[in-house]
Amino acid sequence: MSYREAYQQSISSPEEFWGEQAALVDWFRKPQQVLDSTNPPFHRWFPDATLNTCYNALDRHVVRGAAERTALIYDSAVTGTKRRYSYAELLTEVAAFAGALQQLGVEKGDRVVVYMPMIPEAVIAMLACARIGAVHSVVFGGFAPQELAIRIDDATPKVVVSASCGIEPSRTIAYKPLLDQALELAEHAPEAVVVKQRPEVTAELVDGRDLDWDVAMSAGRVQPAGCVEVAATDPLYVLYTSGTTGKPKGIVRDNGGHAVAMAWSFPNVYGCDAGDVWWAASDVGWVVGHSYIVYGPLISGATTVLYEGKPVGTPDAGAFWRVIEEYGVKALFTAPTAIRAIKKEDPEGRLVGEYDLSSLQTLFLAGERLDPDTWEWAGEKLGVPVVDNWWQTETGWPIASNLRGLEPMEIKPGSPSVPVPGFDVQVLDGSGNQVPPGSEGAICLKLPMPPGTLATLWGDDQRYVDSYLSAFDGYYLSGDGGYVDPDGYVYVMGRTDDVINVAGHRLSTGSMEEVISRHPAVAECAVIGVADPMKGQLPRGFVVLKAGVEADPDEIRDELVARVRAEIGAVAAFKEVVVVGGLPKTRSGKILRKTMREIADGKDAAVPSTIEDAGVLDTLRPVLRRE
């Protein structure tokens, strides 16, 4: 089937299209009904079907003779550890930990928070939850205790799974004290905490609550768990993502639609299949980690690489090329920032030439805007197609891509190519009308979105509707602006709200403002994302001090930087804050963040006629432009 045929069918007859793709998944009870749209704007895929996602990711490959095929390769550049798990071995580990969770009282529907570095136990914990119908909620290890506490309170897990430490190139981070602090801050108390002790740091365990991973596993091995039958519409996981306010959104992913989306997208979008070695160099704490480190490749029977390290500094800018050569990686998925970091260290690509990269067929880049320079450099040095793909935590898989498995197409730099089957991409103006090709507007997805996209927000259907579905009736609002060219290629120009993207990490400026405004000297503040040649965007803070405060601005700056790092995490990369005399506002008191951002980025900023005092902006202009 050509791309055009697949796309047309997926939009005009979604039930027929996805009904056929459902055959890619093993069901306990096959779907008789493909789509339930009786409760708009909610749409549920495969409402009468049952399955188990872990069965699809592991057991079925073992049953069908691929027990000895490598499922997971763990390569830790920071500890020098390498380990391969066959499908049979991974299944044994997962079943054991699933048994351990059951012994801790975890049942179908219970939540389990996973706060772990990039070690196999993180993947094992996720799949173990899926095996017993529990709902995992992985929290990225770079988040600080406060952020972890917010997520624990929202997900109310029965068990938290963690490790004694994470290892960054410059330091070892003891996770357990961070987790203990989070549990002190949180109102919800999990019944148990399971901790994988790593040799680099030994965590202290709290009597009666904490359990050593290895001890839990020993018990689980005695009584491993089988696959629990769940409804296709039951939640598989909740993954929190930054919104415009400090409260993150708990994206709910179902089991059935997700399994079908993974099974379809991995071969069709990424051109990989059973037996191929695939590497998504992201983190299990992000959606890429969920979809394409864990579920997509394993459901497809491929070999997935779990890499604990960085593109540079572990030990050098040849780290990625070493992994590709060592394991015969067919396709690498990473963020443009990673390639920019490599390019900065090794602009001539000297280290590329030191490795045999003949296995590599494609480099996929996503998570942030792919600038043409990075695209060109990677393509020239690696000699393979460099394929941008655009998607979000909410969608779970690509909205726009060049479908390398289905039908590779011309690549246009600056565009992630065409809408992926299932995603009815439309660009709307402020009144909800479709704009002509080439005109910019809000990128929206006409409902229903395909299987695997978010079902709702955890415990908050209304916020789901308010955040995404209420701007334009019948559409999902992506929050990104852009246009579609006359050839149907999508161009994503950036967020239309206050969400920023720092090194592929989606962050909320609102949550940084919340931290800053709690400082006793601060009267008001604004945080904006400004363009950065390495990380894509970086947050910059502007604060107005309370009248009468006579503190040293440098001291205030250091305190605010430290607070954001302590309360949100190092990953926010919040390092710049300026004390200013005032912030530009509309007459109704809204801070003109967009205007500030445009000025800071050197763009022609249209100053709204509703501005309260244009003089404030004039004074701020040189600060914003760093003149």
Site residues (vs ligand 1VU, CB under 6 A): 141-142, 166, 168, 173, 282-283, 286-288, 310-311, 335, 337-338, 341, 366-367, 391-392, 503-505, 535, 570-571, 573
Minimum Å distance from CB 178 to ligand 1VU?
9
Minimum distance of ligand 1VU from residue 617's CB (angstroms) = 31
Q: Which is nearer to ligand 1VU, 309 or 451 (by Cβ)?
A: 309
Nearer to ligand 1VU, 60 or 290 (CB): 290
Q: Evaluate whether 443 touches 482 at the Cβ level (below 8 Å).
A: yes
Beta-carbon contacts of 321 under 8 Å, excluding residues fewer than 6 positions away, are: 351, 352, 354, 355, 357
Angle at 107 between CA 105 and CA 111, to 5 degrees: 95
- At 13, list the tokens: 């007859």
Question: At closest approach, how far in Å is the CB of 567 from ligand 1VU?
Answer: 14
Nearer to ligand 1VU, 59 or 368 (CB): 368
Cβ closer to ligand 1VU: 124 or 573?
573
Dist CA 617 CA 627 (whole Å): 14
Least distance between ligand 1VU and beta carbon 499 (Å): 11
Write down the least CB distance from residue 447 to ligand 1VU, Å.
21
Beta carbons within 8 Å of 188's beta carbon, 6+ residues apart:
152, 153, 156, 157
Cβ atoms 164, 195 nearer than 8 A: yes
Picking from 282, 193, 196, 173, the residue whose alpha carbon sits closest to that of residue 569 is: 173
Smallest distance from ligand 1VU to CB 87, Å: 25
Q: How far is the CB of 338 from ligand 1VU (least distance, A)?
A: 4
User: How many CB atoms are located within 10 Å of the residue 428 CB?
Assistant: 18
CB 337 to ligand 1VU: min, Å: 4
- Minimum separation from the CB atom of position 392 to ligand 1VU (A): 6
| Cβ proximity to ligand 1VU, 367 vs 482, nearer residue | 367
For 40, other C-beta atoms within 10 Å of its C-beta total: 11
Taking the least distance from each CB to ligand 1VU, the nearer of 157 and 569 is 569
User: CB of residue 294 vs ligand 1VU: minimum separation in angstroms?
Assistant: 13
- In the complex, what is the shortest distance from the CB of residue 560 to ligand 1VU, in angstroms, rounded to a whole number? 15
Residue 199: CB atoms within 10 A of its CB come to 9
Contacts of 50 by beta carbon, 8 Å cutoff, 6+ apart: 27, 28, 29, 229, 230, 231, 232
350: which 2 tokens? 């000297």
b/e code 449-485 from CB counts within 10 Å (16+ = b): bbbbbbbbbbebeebbeebbbebbeebbbbbbbbbbe
Specify the residue, 286 or 295, whose C-beta has the smaller distance to ligand 1VU: 286
What phi, psi does 38 have (nearest 5°)? -80, -10
- The smaller minimum CB distance to ligand 1VU, of residues 573 and 596, is found at 573
3-state secondary structure string across 411-463: CCCCCCCEECCCCCEEEECCCCCECCCCCCEEEEEECCCCCCCCCEECCCHHH
Nearer Cβ to ligand 1VU (172/359): 172
Toward ligand 1VU, which CB reaches closer, 227 or 312? 312
Burial label for 400, CB within 10 Å (0-12, 13-18, 19+), is: buried
Q: State in angstroms the smallest separation of the CB of 471 from ligand 1VU.
A: 21
d(CA 162, CA 193): 7
Distance CA 157, CA 459 (A): 13
Q: Which is nearer to ligand 1VU, 43 or 290 (CB)?
A: 290
Residues 6+ apart with CB under 8 A from 335: 282, 365, 366, 367, 368, 503, 504
CB–CB of 582/616 below 8 Å? Answer: yes
Shortest Cβ 289–ligand 1VU spacing (Å)? 7
Which residue in the block uniquely carries the two structure tokens 């002190």?
Answer: 184
Residues paired with 500 in a beta bridge: 507
Q: Determine the distance from the C-alpha atom of residue 546 to the mean position of all C-alpha atoms in its chain, rounded to a whole number.
A: 38
Tokens of 186: 């949180």
